[in-house]
Amino acid sequence: MLTIHGVARSRASRIIWLCHELDLPFRQVPVIQAYRLPFPDAPDAALNTASPSFLALSPAGGIPVIEDDGLVLSESLACTLYLARKHGGDLAPRDAAEDALMMQWSFYGATAVEPDALTLMVLHGRGQAQSGEDAALVAGAAERLVRPMKVIDDHLAAHGHPVGGRFTVADLNLAEVVRYAQGYGALMEQFPAVQAWLADCHARPAFQRMWQARLAEPE
């Protein structure tokens, strides 16, 4: 059976969501981010990304990691693209061109959107009072996101989905990074096609199942 190493409050959410879309059973090992623990090295610390046993599995020390039929794989996007291809169906590419486009949109999200969207989520999304320095970081991130968000918005307005006119693993990968920016209204309201598409993604029962699991975990 597929094993997912990583708590749901991490990028493991992407794989958990995909598994629910595919009705794919999995075993979850709740490895937590070391930085969330006061003493990750303590002998009684919860299994975390600095634990020797986890680092032996994946020296990069990041969650998620999957184990599947002897394959050990890190990088959440590699994991979702692999699982979608392996299990097929509508979420998977139908040919080499779709495969390439699914990678294109996934990597575009990871490179052009994810870092700045994370800044918005961490510094703005949780509503902390912002120092002048944080406010400048947030403003810079939001400004840089306008260009890729417009690219995504224009594409979604014309095609409905990143690839193939249907919900695929590319929607899931992209939605999981755009989600980080969703609390920044001044940015999101400029992109109505992105907002409508993200709401549709989040209304999917498989997303909701993953989300409930996240909420059930301690913050």
Ligand X SMILES: N[C@@H](CCC(=O)N[C@@H](CS)C(=O)NCC(=O)O)C(=O)O
Give long-range contacts, CB 8 A cutoff, 24+ apart: 208-214.
209/17, 209/20, 210/8, 210/13, 210/16, 210/17, 210/20, 213/8, 213/16, 214/8, 214/9, 214/13
Stretch that binds ligand X, among 29-37, 101-109, 130-138, 173-181 (CB under 6 A): 29-37
Q: Amino acid identity, residue 41? A: D
Nearer Cβ to ligand X, position 11 or 124?
Answer: 11
Tokens 């930085």 -> residue:
35
- Minimum distance of ligand X from residue 21's CB (angstroms): 18
DSSP 48: B
Stretch that binds ligand X, among 56-64, 142-150, 191-199, 209-217 (CB under 6 A): 56-64
Nearer Cβ to ligand X, position 62 or 183?
Answer: 62
DSSP string, 108-136: HIIIIIHHHHHHIIIIIIT-PPPPHHHHH
The continuous run of DSSP H or E covering 93 comes out as: none
- Minimum distance of ligand X from residue 193's CB (angstroms): 25
| Positions 62 through 91 that interact with ligand X (CB under 6 A) | 62-64, 75-77
- Minimum distance of ligand X from residue 169's CB (angstroms): 14
HSE, CB side, 13 Å, CA atoms: give it for residue 60.
Answer: 9
- Minimum distance of ligand X from residue 31's CB (angstroms): 8
CB proximity list for 117: less than 8 A, separation 6 or greater? 141, 145, 177, 178, 179, 180, 181
Nearer Cβ to ligand X, position 12 or 198?
Answer: 12
Stretch that binds ligand X, among 61-69, 127-135, 168-176, 179-187 (CB under 6 A): 61-69
Given 28, 49, 58, 119, the residue binding ligand X (CB under 6 A): 49
Residues lying near ligand X in the complex (CB under 6 A): 10-11, 33-35, 49, 61-64, 75-77
